[in-house]
Homo-oligomer: A and B are copies of this chain.
Amino acid sequence: MDKVALKKWAIVLALGAIIWLIPVPAGLTPAAWHLFAVFVATIAGFILQPIPMGAVAFLALTICAFFGILKTKDVLMGFGSGTIWLIVCAFFLSRGFIKTGLGRRIAYCIIRAIGKSSMSLGYSICLAELIVSPAMPSATARGGGVFYPIVQSLCNAFDSTPGASAGRIGKYLMQVGFHADAVTCTMFLTSMAGNPLCVGLAASAAGVELTWMEWAAAAIVPGLVCLFLVPIILLKIAPPELKQMPDAKSVAVAELAKMGPMSKDEKVLAFVFVMCLILWATGSLTKIGATPIAMLAVSIMLISKVLVWKDILSEKGAWDAMFWMGGLMSLATALAKSGFIKWAAAGIASGISAAHMSWFVSFAVIALIYIYSHYCFASVTARISAMYAAFVAVAVACGAPALMVAVAFGIFANLPISLTHYGNGAAPVYFGAGYVSQGEWWRNGFVITTINTIVWFTVGFAWWKVIGLF
Contact = CB atoms under 8 A, between A and B. Distances in A.
Interface of A: 1, 51-52, 54-55, 58-59, 61-62, 65-66, 68, 72-73, 75-82, 85, 287-289, 291-293, 295-296, 298-299, 302-303, 305, 309-310, 312-314, 316, 319-320, 323
Given A79-B79, A314-B316, A54 B288 contact: no
18 contacts: A51-B302, A51-B303, A52-B309, A54-B309, A54-B312, A54-B313, A58-B295, A58-B298, A61-B295, A62-B296, A66-B288, A72-B289, A72-B291, A76-B85, A310-B316, A312-B319, A313-B316, A314-B314
A136 B280 CA distance: 48
How many copies of the chain does the oligomer comprise?
2
Nearest to A326: B80
A321 to B, nearest CB: 10
A323 B92 CA distance: 14
Given A54-B312, A316-B313, A299 B76 contact: no
Nearest to A305: B1
Given A54-B309, A54-B312, A80-B81, 18 more contacts: A1-B305, A51-B302, A52-B309, A54-B313, A58-B295, A59-B299, A59-B302, A59-B303, A62-B296, A66-B292, A66-B295, A72-B82, A73-B80, A76-B82, A78-B80, A79-B79, A79-B80, A314-B314
Q: Is the interface of A mostly helix, strand, loop or mixed?
A: helix
Nearest to A92: B58
Contact of A313 (B80, B303, B312, B319): B319
Nearest to A293: B66
Given A51-B302, A80-B73, A80-B78, A62 B292 contact: yes
A289 to B, nearest CB: 5
Contacts of A287: 68
Contacts of A52: 309
A51 B292 CA distance: 20
A80 B85 contact: no
Given A76-B81, A76-B85, A51 B309 contact: yes
A411 B79 CA distance: 33
A316 B309 CA distance: 10
Contacts of A316: 310, 313-314
A62 B312 contact: no
Contacts of A305: 1
A96 to B, nearest CB: 14
A72 B309 contact: no
**3 nearest interchain CB pairs?**
A80-B80, A65-B292, A52-B309
Contacts of A293: 66
Nearest to A52: B309
Contacts of A292: 62, 65-66, 72, 75
